[in-house]
Amino acid sequence: MRNFKKYFAVALTAAMVAGLAVVPAQADEAAGKVYYLNFKPEADQAWQDLAATYTEQTGVPVTVLTAASGEYNTTLQSEMAKAEAPTIFNVGNADAAATWDSYTYDMSGTSLYDHLTDKSLVINYNDKTAAVANCYECYGLIYNKTILEQYCAMDSAVVSSIDEINSFDTLKAVADDINGRVDEINDELGTFLTEAFASAGLDSGSSWRFSGHLAGLPLYYEFKDDGCDLTAGEAEIDGTYLDQFKNVWDLYVSASSADPATLASGALNAEAEFGMGEAVFYQNGDWEYSAFTNPENGYEVTGDDIGMMPIYFGVDDENEGLAVGTENYWAINSQASQEDIDASLAFLEWVITSDEGRDAVTNQMGLTTPFDTFEGDFATKNVLANTANELAAAGKTSVAWSFNATPNVDTWREGVVSALTAYTDGSGDWDGVVSAFVDGWAEQWALAHEE
């Protein structure tokens, strides 16, 4: 660790003179500073703790700012306009790399790049490695394994095993049955269910689950049909699989206790509903593992209670795996001073090589990483992430993160969410959703790719 011995010696001498405990080392100006704009709100405390630990060990100042859920791009634009701009930020896809091209440092010769187990987990743009993936994630339907197994054992259950839930039709039959017999099931099992599916919130803190992750499935299947790059996409889409999107969305709404008119209110908390054992199914990703294994959250659900299955879409259900990919890529601000660039790279190298950093990433954030340093005690313990590997090993096809191709992502998603909200609360129709999805895509693609 650069200059650690020098800093530690200075700090120790000062502490002895003062007759106090050892104080954090002090960095000289040449050591640079780090400002990380964090993309993942659920990992904020872990990053704040890592920053404090690193500063204590090295004296290098590390600031972490976490953007609110769904507000990252807006926050990034605001922070980049300041004199003290982020030195580390997130790039989600090739369009974002194009937007921030003049701010991305070439990471091809860095230690982060060298430690990648899969060199394809980067974003290359304009003859440089603009960003390096920091985690590899999956999403699908998180389910309460304990309750679902108990339900399957009931004489009146639609299925006798969770393994039988392997298609949209079966998933719908199970969810409708549970949702229609909540009181009966609670009486027999001693559970506290209120619904089959946790609420499908359309507020800014939750709507990305549907305008991004759920929308990724019709995009994926259409891109497959068209033979284009599954994560780069194409200029025009037909909405071939929007009927399937509608079927899944209608299930989410009808098999939940949430009033459809309130989905955009921001008053709903799907994570808490699932965490308190009120819902059996919850569309989200393996990053939620950390929330359900953190005792401070006070959830009834634990890591032993949860599993994940694909979002069965009614297209190729028998072969479908989880949706696997990432939109989390570290980029270094090339317009920062060289001292700050070096300090930022050194900080991230410490995160992926030190015991403190690896423990935080694996055990506190619950992430699966693409770096060769995460082995043994630091290999992922995330049972949700491991499900993706198990399904792939069983011959299932992982669904690519095709939503990464979304042009002008915030604007396009806003249009889809607005139309989906109107359809759901009855003030609009499904044609509005189709138009926002298809016509909005063409419009935003043209704007994003204009010369």
Cα separation, 365 vs 43, in Å, equals 6
pLDDT band, very low/low/confident/very high, at 348 (cuts 50, 70, 90): very high
Q: Are 290 and 135 in contact (CB under 8 A)?
A: no
- Judge if 89 and 222 occupy the same domain: no
Q: How many other CB atoms are there within 10 angstroms of residue 51's CB atom?
A: 21
For the beta carbon of residue 186, count every other beta carbon within 10 angstroms: 13
Give how many domains the chain has, as a whole number. 2
Based on the fold, state whether residues 70 and 98 are members of the same structural domain.
Answer: yes
Asked if pLDDT for residue 33 goes beyond 70, the answer is: yes
196 domain-assigned: yes
Its pTM stands at 0.79
Same domain, 248 and 367: no
Please enumerate, as own/partner, the contacts of 48-51 that have beta carbons within 8 Å and a separation of 24 or more: 49/360, 50/351, 50/356, 50/357, 50/360
Query: Does 152 lie in the same domain as 44?
Result: no
**Claim to verify: residue 287 and residue 186 sit in the same structural domain:** yes
445 Cβ neighbours under 8 A, 6+ residues apart: 235, 236, 407
In which residue are the tokens 């294994």 written? 293
What CATH number corresponds to the domain at position 336? Answer: 3.40.190.10
Q: Among 5-14, 154-163, 377-386, 404-413, whose mean pLDDT is lowest?
A: 5-14
Q: Is the pLDDT at 17 greater than 80, yes or no? A: no
Provide the pLDDT for residue 30: 65
Task: Report if residue 379 sits inside a domain.
Answer: no
- Co-location of 97 and 226 in the same domain: no
Tell which residue, 140, 181, 190, has the closest CA to residue 157. 181
The β-bridge relationship of strands 122-125 and 128-133 is antiparallel
Q: Within this chain, do residues 49 and 195 fall inside the same structural domain, yes or no?
A: no
**Which tens digits make up the pLDDT trace of 62-73?**
999 999 988 999
Residue 394 lies in a domain: yes
Q: Based on the domain organization, do 370 and 392 belong to the same domain? A: no
Q: What is the per-residue pLDDT for 232?
A: 87
What are 314-333's pLDDT values in tens digits?
Answer: 999 999 999 999 989 999 99
The tokens describing 105, both together, are: 């440092």
Domain membership flag for residue 10: yes
Q: Which of 317, 344, 374 is the last residue of a domain?
A: 374
What is the domain extent for residue 443? Answer: 138-325+387-448
Residues 294 and 160 in one domain: yes
Q: Mean pLDDT throughout 135-145?
A: 95
Residues 282, 181: one domain?
yes
Residues 183 and 315 in one domain: yes
Question: Does residue 106 sit in the same domain as residue 151?
Answer: no
Residue 69 lies in a domain: yes
Is 382 within a domain?
Answer: no
> If we measure between CA atoms, which residue out of 441, 443, 420 comes closest to residue 432?
420
> DSSP readout, 142-197?
EEEHHHHHHHHTSTT-S-SSGGG--SHHHHHHHHHHHHHTHHHHHHHH----S-SB
Is 136 in contact with 121 (CB distance < 8 Å)?
yes
List the one residue out of 321, 393, 291 whose CA is nearest residue 138: 321
* pLDDT tens digits, 149-195: 999 999 999 999 999 999 999 999 999 999 999 999 999 999 999 99
Domain-embedded: residue 429: yes
Structural domain contains residue 241: yes
Burial class for 319, CB neighbours closer than 10 Å (0-12, 13-18, 19+): exposed
End-to-end CA distance of the chain: 45
What pLDDT is attached to residue 28? 54
Of 374, 409, 434, the last residue of a domain is 374
Distance CA 186, CA 124 (A): 52
d(CA 187, CA 154): 12
